[in-house]
Amino acid sequence: MSVIAQIFVGVAGVFHVVVFAMESVLFRKPSTYRRFLVKDTEVETARPWAFNQGFYNLFLAIGALGGLIWGGDKGHAIALFACACMAGAGIVLLASDRRMLRAAATQAVPPIAALVLAAIL
């Protein structure tokens, strides 16, 4: 895998670690839960969902970053599979709520770039 593709895998992985922290650790902060379009009255209902979702993002990040660290064909395959899952999740996010366009693009563009660059370089 080219260095530029690896950079995009790394960016995607770090982004998903940050989202994990927001969803699983910092979710009760108003500035955090409002980013997810959660109202003040819905925080305690949404918190278990957000905690669980945060771990999904952490596991994707581990796949991407761990695959880079492992290296070789097998490690890169794991990293690219994680990127494909990240890209798919971003597309689903956009399809589920058009107001989440910015978040979906932030989530999906780096892993899509990694996949494309890995395929062509």
- Amino acid letter, residue 60: L
The model's pLDDT over 96-110, given as tens digits with 9 standing for 90+, comes to 999 999 999 999 999
| pLDDT single digits (tens) 48-76 | 999 999 999 999 999 999 999 999 999 99
Cα-based angle 68, 56, 36 (whole degrees, multiple of 5): 115
State how far the Cα of 10 lies from the Cα of 66, in Å rounded to an integer. Answer: 10
Handedness of CA 99, 102, 106, 111 (dihedral sign): positive
The dihedral built from the CA positions of residue 72, 59, 120 and 4, taken in this order, carries a sign that is negative
Q: Does the model's pTM come out above 0.75?
A: yes
Give me the pLDDT at residue 49, please: 97
pLDDT one-digit tens code per residue, 9-60: 999 999 999 999 999 999 999 999 999 999 999 999 999 999 999 999 999 9
